[in-house]
Structure 1
Amino acid sequence: MTQEHIKLLILGSGPAGYTAAIYAARAGMTPVIYMGDQPGGQLTITNDVENFPGYPKGINGPQMMIDFQEQAERFGTDVRTGLATKVDFSGYPHKVVIDDKHEITAESVIICTGASAKWLGLPSEQRLNGRGVSACAVCDGFFFRNQEVVVVGGGDTAAEEATYLSKLCKKVYLLVRRDEMRASRIMQQRVLNTQNIEVLWNSETVDIIGEDEVESVRVRNILTSEEREIKAQGFFVAIGHKPNTDIFKGYLDMNESGYILTVPGTSKTNIEGVFAAGDAQDFVYRQAVTAAGTGCMAALDAERFLASKEIAVAE
């Protein structure tokens, strides 16, 4: 196994990772960033991004991530392909193994591994992803103004997505697999009291119809097996996200869902010199702009940490 020592290692290449790299590189920290198994993060499966400042005409998600990467590289970031497969944060410096064959010792680590939306697993869902199928109403709801959409899920996320979309769309169908929702009582009341939201209980998605864009959704009643086709232009999956943090378990403090816990107001984890940014630690906002903001925080926190280490050594 090859070995290497790095001053600052960044894991993940979405808005959080690239922003951290931009700040770190400009501060002379010679960051190395490994892009992970989805270079560019979730934005690479988003066709149009219209709510990120600085792009008045909007931008294609993959192109936006290319812009981020080029800006990070401009200041000297070493951008590499590869996935962190093992870590050891029990000592210092921190150890990270890439692709099971390259061991890195790092003086500081910024984790920006993100979170992945949970999907239903339908072939049509993946085929039409970004063409009417989405996992983020705040990101994509605007494109369905005055249209009819379907939301899948029964928890707080689904209730929030349906309520948000109800303000933009003509009609929102909420598919709930059971005869009750798991969402909090106040969120349920908001859904049930919203006139243009129709809840379809005991219902599941059979298929999403459409060649190049969503045209309708085939739905089955779980109790009766009766199927119906709902005309809709948008299909929103709201059954939760899974943070990509499994390899850090046992070292970093996390909540019950696996999101990394940071000291409030900072990017600091419970391990000195390890920082977390973006959707790996943010289960509330999950936006590109907030991920970028926490990436900036992590770079500044890492810079101060490394500076304190140098002072301690000098003394």
Structure 2
Amino acid sequence: MAETRTTKLLIIGSGPAGYTAGVYGSRAMLDPILVQGIEPGGQLTTTTEVENWPGDTEVQGPDLMVRMEAHAKAMGTEIIGDIIIDLDLSSRPFKAKGDSGTTYVADAVILATGARAKWLGMESEEKFKGFGVSACATCDGFFYRNQEIVVIGGGNTAVEEALFLTKFASKVTLVHRRDELRAEKILIDRLMKNPKIEPLWFHELHEVYGTENPLGVEGIKVKHTKTGEITDIAAKGVFVAIGHAPANELVKDTLETHMGGYVVTKPDSTETSIPGVFAAGDLTDHEYRQAVTSAGMGCMAALEAERFLSQEGDETAVQSEQPQTEEA
């Protein structure tokens, strides 16, 4: 028989935003339920060294998420290994259906489902993920000081990553399948003027290769999009920068979105277009996409959810205290 769970606060997602929301939701005595989703811990579980988390000079991404999960659990968050497959926000209380068959009924919902970097889907790309292949320059660029690296892509993401990586790398090769970038003009101007960046037009990534033990990138093979000619490029790092996709499948038809599907929130808030529904982390953040900013938004979402529920409770109490009159 399918189970129904009722809670004041349902948190969907288990990255830095979700776990932080759990900590603050628990401290506010909301007894939150957190449903982890398809990738418990989020994108940081596929990251190796993290050197920009305050308080840790260096920490492994998976280890950090284990600690955050333990913290949320210790504060009182009930953490469930389920996947929400349907979310009904048409009326309160909100209803979510899990892949397990469980129905979750909640007075408020925090969405922390994150975003996923877009990948090319190549076997060699998958093999070296976290061992020389990355989709986050601000996360991993520091490890390639004075090294030659490659960026794949031609939009704003690729140009911004290439420019950022020049702080560390001795040379950045930007591989693009056309001869014209799709980025903003000001970014293109900066890129073309940067002596460390060399664009490689009409090429696409064909293969990543490197060492086996330990795993590490040594270079890539690129294919000319017109002639089919294969060329080797030596590189220690490969950054796939073809954009990010917010994990908005549950709400793309019910909440207001922008910038390619990111959930819209009110200025300086995590409130969405539906009262009682809050969004935090990479699901709404198309600009920073950092663990620390996601955690900050998770805190904001929990505090705003607590305030929302308190106000709802006050209004209900006031209504119940009004004298009732019978009609003649």
Q: TM-score range by the shorter chain?
A: over 0.9
Q: SS of the residue aligned with 1:18?
A: helix
Aligned to 1:122: 122
Aligned to 2:323: none
- Name the larger-Rg structure: 2
User: How far apart in 1 are the matches of 2:254 and 2:219?
Assistant: 46
Q: SS of the residue aligned with 1:97?
A: strand
1:151-206 Cα deviation digits (max 9, x unpaired): 00000110000001112100000001111110111111111111010100011001
Counterpart amino acid of residue 56 in structure 2: Y
Q: SS of the residue aligned with 2:9?
A: strand
CA contact (8 A) 1:246 1:258 kept: no
Aligned to 2:12: 11
Aligned partner of 2:300 among 268, 274, 297: 297
User: How far apart in 2 are the matches of 1:283 and 1:62?
Assistant: 23
CA contact (8 A) 1:86 1:100 kept: no
Aligned to 2:70: 70
Q: Aligned ranges for residues 1-315 of structure 1 at < 5 Å?
A: 1-56=2-57, 58-99=58-99, 101-210=101-210, 211=212, 212-315=215-318
Q: CA offset at residue 256 of structure 1?
A: 4.6
User: How far apart in 1 are the matches of 2:95 and 2:276?
Assistant: 12
Q: SS of the residue aligned with 2:257?
A: coil
CA contact (8 A) 2:259 2:286 kept: no
Q: CA offset at residue 224 of structure 1?
A: 1.4
CA contact (8 A) 1:84 1:96 kept: yes
Counterpart amino acid of residue 128 in structure 1: F
Q: CA offset at residue 127 of structure 1?
A: 1.1
Q: TM-score, normalised by structure 1?
A: 0.98
Unpaired runs of 5+ residues, structure 1, are none
Q: Percent identity?
A: 48
Q: TM-score, normalised by structure 2?
A: 0.94
Q: CA offset at residue 105 of structure 1?
A: 1.3
Counterpart amino acid of residue 84 in structure 1: I
User: How far apart in 1 are the matches of 2:259 and 2:100?
Assistant: 28
CA contact (8 A) 1:148 1:234 kept: yes
User: How far apart in 2 are the matches of 1:166 and 1:223?
Assistant: 29
Unpaired runs of 5+ residues, structure 2, are 319-328
The alignment yields a C-alpha RMSD, in angstroms, of: 0.9
Q: SS of the residue aligned with 1:182?
A: coil
CA contact (8 A) 2:82 2:100 kept: no
1:100-158 Cα deviation digits (max 9, x unpaired): 61111100000000000000111111111111110000110000000000000000110
CA contact (8 A) 1:35 1:82 kept: yes
Aligned to 2:321: none
